[in-house]
Structure 1
Amino acid sequence: MKKIFITLFLLLSLLQISSVQAEILDRIVAVVEDDVILDSELSRETEAIKQRLKANQVMIPPDFVLRKQVLERLILERLQLQRAKNIGIHVSDEMLRNAIADIAARNGMDVEQFRQQLESQGMSFADFQNSIRKEIIINQLHAREIGSRIKVTDREVAHFLETQGDVGQEKVKYRLGHILIAISEAASATAIQKALDKARRVVKELREGADFKQKAISVSDGANALKGGDLGWRTVSQVPTLFVDIVTKMKKGDVSEPLRSPSGFHIIKILDMQGLDKHVITKTHVRHILIKTNELVDDKEAQKRLRALKHRIEDGDDFAALARAHSDDKGSAIKGGDLGWVGPGVLVPPFEAAMNKLKIGEISEPIQTQFGWHIIQVLGRQQQDDSLEFKKNKVRAEIRKQKMDEETNLWLRRLRDEAFVEIYLDRI
């Protein structure tokens, strides 16, 4: 009996030790509303970030600093996924498959080749799928919660072009570094002053030669902190409104004074600068004859009619006269089938692809689009400086992106401030 008792005691002790070890290995590091973040999850994400920083030859900060940054990112991600679930945002398996197929195609591979490539680099394909699913969900959430409220008017585009001068001239592009010392919307005067003092210390250290990337990773509360605060290359239209005036007066290597916004105090550094080139496009003068299909004219009959018209033109008949008599595109038929000078992206893809293969004066074989069957003739091509129109479209897109970024930062800060979040990181 004594031996049995001792054996049972040892077994219970081992079970208790195993339980304690399991608890130590996977403790809760944060409670986020009705969900939790585990230490194992934080450790995996931290290790992944470390590998990326090593690959980019960025000095890795102390573990406690990096884990704090990564945990904050996981908290924001969890809050957004919870919000998306609550309002019914869902990504279907088909949508996920299409997104991954598109990523694989952009990398010159099919999905199976892409899977093998990921696995050869030590990445689980299931983890990659999960990451893409979350990214799509969060993008849809931002579009619904923020994007639907953002409008860009013609007046805003015109104002930008007026204040920035002649868009045909060469413009400057900036590569920006960004550090945010965050404050909450309800911060006290003492908390605001404390954040400002910290921002001023950071500016002083940077101007004395501190490494910007390392400093951003260590102290920044910005979304790009783990990328060393690098915001990438931006034209003036892409620079957040708060920074525009100061950025345009800075030189490469300059560090700004702290800039106040509702999110906190921002520090900007000009990492690099370069000029912008003109945007030149090829415009094509094109005409066509369209035969639509219906109950009486099927695909075969439409092609037959167009081939007959092509032969007549090649034998000397006038294209414009035949277009006026036979084309089902009544808008262009009265102009002899002439569609005028068109730039890239104006016409539907099958039509544009066939048009681009033609020599000047050449007539295509019948080609099919969503509108019916066509024969096409190219009358001329010319290079055109499309900088003004291109710039207008780009300015419109970038003003929208700028507004989206600013609104997203405020929305995320509000989401974080209003959520129930309990952090146990310092207790481990």
Structure 2
Amino acid sequence: MIDQKKMTRVIASVLFCSFLFSSFPVQAEVLDTIIAVVEDDVILEHELQREVAAIEQRIQAAKAAMPPASVLRRQVLEKMIVDKLQRQLAERAGVNVTEEMLNSSAADIAQRNNMNLQEFRAELESQGISYKSFLDNMRNEIIINQLRGREIGGRIKVTDREVDHYLETQDKIGEQAVQYHLGHILIAVKEAASAAQIQKARSKAEVIVKNLRAGQDFTQSAISESNDANALKGGDLGWRTMGDIPTLFVDVVGKLAQGEVAEPIRSPSGFHIIKMLELKGLDAHMVTKTKVRHILIKTNELIDDAEAKKRLLALKARIADGDDFAALARAHSDDKGSALKGGSLDWVGPGDLVKPFEEAMGKLAVNEISEPVQTQFGWHLIQVLDRQNKDNSEEFKRNLVREAIRKRKIEEETELWLRRLRDEAFVEIYQDRL
């Protein structure tokens, strides 16, 4: 059934346009033809022609075969219908894009193309694309993306089990191209060993792992402590593919980053200690981890920016005179979570902290204390305690897989959501005008 109320609004709009143009006979011939009614809005012939022309330009630029004109018009019209439905839903949901957000996005695109905004605008216009048209299209894309984020994104979850399953079943291609250079130490346990003897061997293995992680040389440890046949080779098992690695170690090895030492692995022969000496065939993904602490002073009705900076500078002077940073953080920091730990934020990686904090932290030497730094949370005094370059390859790989699964789920859910949106909407296409 056609919604009479909607049709009344559409007809009234068309009649009003007809009345306006009837007042100007010279312009009457350019009155647009309605191609489709979409809920309480319409798609006009000139809008469809404009979109078709834009799509044709893209197809030509890609040097692809041009489909028949009638097919292209229908495809473009269907896209316009779905876009219009999404815009209508976004409007009802209060999704909007501010001019500031729009200009910022345009500036980002210009910067990615190594241009400022004025140069980018001139480049668009040299290609026959009006800047206003570009902004309108970008506004439309941003609104639709925000709408989809609200309607779909929040519902998509990817579990660790799904990531594991993907890696086990889909990531086998090329696995044999990855080679692992392993170090091995065995703390042997006799078959008839007592519980006390087993516990003694376990404790010994745990101490060795602790010492190795603290920097003790693996080769020396293997020579002096290992009961394995490769002990005199420094525990070196050589380069192996996953298929050449003992089944007992496979799950552990697959999760080790370069330089990492695994927890002791129990077997009937004793406790095995594995170190990933090197990786080959898998690009290493190194990240810098920073151990950092801070003192935060928030601004409020009583404390303005100047006062917050003054207090932090006074605390910095006290630290220079010998006062303990951690004690001052516990007593004065407005970040109560870290204040309990002496201001410690522990080890952080890229993207873990807000940009102004991260930028200031990155410029500090180990043990150096910053000048007051402002972020959205207030003013900070920052001290870097340590830095480490860590091979983050395994975590990076899992994150890529997680994102791939999430993207696939979003695509599948979006397709269903758009089909449902289209099916439930009132749309009338005037076939004779296509």
Contact 1:281 1:344 in 2 (8 A): yes
Aligned-partner residue type, residue 46 of structure 2: S
Q: In the alignment, what sits opposite 1:258?
A: none
Counterparts of 1:335 and 1:34, CA distance in 2 = 59
1:281: how far off? Answer: 0.9
Normalising by structure 2, report the TM-score: 0.57
Contact 2:283 2:393 in 1 (8 A): no
Q: In the alignment, what sits opposite 2:15?
A: none
1:44: how far off? Answer: 1.3
Counterparts of 2:134 and 2:292, CA distance in 1 = 46
Alignment of 1:153-168 (within 5 A): 153-164=159-170
Q: In the alignment, what sits opposite 2:78?
A: 72
**Which range is displaced more, 136-145 or 98-107?**
98-107
Ranges in structure 2 where 5+ consecutive residues have no aligned partner: 1-23, 179-280
Contact 2:284 2:391 in 1 (8 A): yes
Q: 2:348 aligns with which of 342, 352, 368?
A: 342
Q: 1:325 aligns with which of 324, 327, 335?
A: 327
Alignment of 1:29-178 (within 5 A): 29-164=35-170
From the superposition, tell whether residues 323 and 57 of structure 1 become closer, same or farther in structure 2 (CA, over 3 Å): same
From the superposition, tell whether residues 63 and 290 of structure 1 become closer, same or farther in structure 2 (CA, over 3 Å): closer
CA offsets, 1:165-205, max 9 Å, x none? 68996999xxxxxxxxxxxxxxxxxxxxxxxxxxxxxxxxx
Counterparts of 1:113 and 1:132, CA distance in 2 = 18
Aligned-partner residue type, residue 358 of structure 2: E
Q: In the alignment, what sits opposite 1:301?
A: 310
Q: 1:367 aligns with which of 364, 370, 373?
A: 373
Alignment of 1:376-415 (within 5 A): 376-415=382-421
SS in 2 for 1:413: helix
SS in 1 for 2:60: helix
Contact 2:284 2:393 in 1 (8 A): yes
Report sequence identity in percent.
58
From the superposition, tell whether residues 299 and 426 of structure 1 become closer, same or farther in structure 2 (CA, over 3 Å): same
**RMSD over equivalenced CA pairs, Å:** 3.9
1:149: how far off? Answer: 3.3
Contact 2:34 2:45 in 1 (8 A): yes
Counterparts of 2:338 and 2:416, CA distance in 1 = 50
Aligned-partner residue type, residue 53 of structure 1: I
1:372: how far off? Answer: 5.1
Counterparts of 1:282 and 1:166, CA distance in 2 = 29
**Which range is displaced more, 56-65 or 123-132?**
56-65
Contact 1:351 1:369 in 2 (8 A): yes
How many residues get paired? 302
Counterparts of 1:55 and 1:77, CA distance in 2 = 24
Counterparts of 2:94 and 2:314, CA distance in 1 = 52
Ranges in structure 1 where 5+ consecutive residues have no aligned partner: 1-14, 173-274
Q: In the alignment, what sits opposite 2:221?
A: none
CA offsets, 1:115-159, max 9 Å, x none? 333223322222222212222222233233333433333443344
From the superposition, tell whether residues 310 and 39 of structure 1 become closer, same or farther in structure 2 (CA, over 3 Å): same
Counterparts of 2:42 and 2:299, CA distance in 1 = 60
Normalising by structure 1, report the TM-score: 0.58
From the superposition, tell whether residues 301 and 168 of structure 1 become closer, same or farther in structure 2 (CA, over 3 Å): farther
Greater Rg, structure 1 or structure 2? 2
From the superposition, tell whether residues 361 and 22 of structure 1 become closer, same or farther in structure 2 (CA, over 3 Å): closer
